[in-house]
Structure 1
Amino acid sequence: MTCKDPEVYVGKKFFMRYVLAVLYKFYIEKCNRVKLRALGKNISKAVKTATSLEYLAQELIVSNIDIGTVAFVSEGHIRYVSSIDIEISNKNFIP
């Protein structure tokens, strides 16, 4: 199986679901890198997921973290929401 979409969007579910989703991407779909993406209050859940992955699978590491702000416009109002992208890669993978 090939890696189709190397991104996991973190939402309102229990964090272990996202841990399993990332492990599925690495071991079943054979992805070399996976990005965890989260907005707002789900940022802490994404960080917890990445920390759990490093603990459970010793060959996975956090290779890059990007933080920023996203602007949403609804009904004429601009709302700014924090965002995070955590890239997890295999230690043995050399790009």
Structure 2
Amino acid sequence: MDPAQFLTESRVVIVAGKGGVGKTTVTAALARTAALAGLTTLVVEVEGKSGLATLYGQPQFAYDEVVLSPGGPQGAADVLARTVTPDEALLEYL
């Protein structure tokens, strides 16, 4: 299957696995591929620390989303990121 087609047809993609298996690399590649397909992409970190922030030269993500990579003139969309802790999710839900 074509990755851009897969991402266009998916609403949510979850990248999970034990430490050291390449979750950060896969997440960055998927986010970039989706953005190049014209999809605004939100990466949500739930572990509390992100190698992705370091990869993009950003401070650790916060609850409010940040732009990791702005869209470009060739139709690429933004890549956004944020972190959500269980406490923040509960407060938002209540």
TM-score, normalising length: structure 1: 0.41
Larger RCO (CA within 8 A; separation ≥ 6): 1
TM-score, normalising length: structure 2: 0.42
Larger Rg: 1
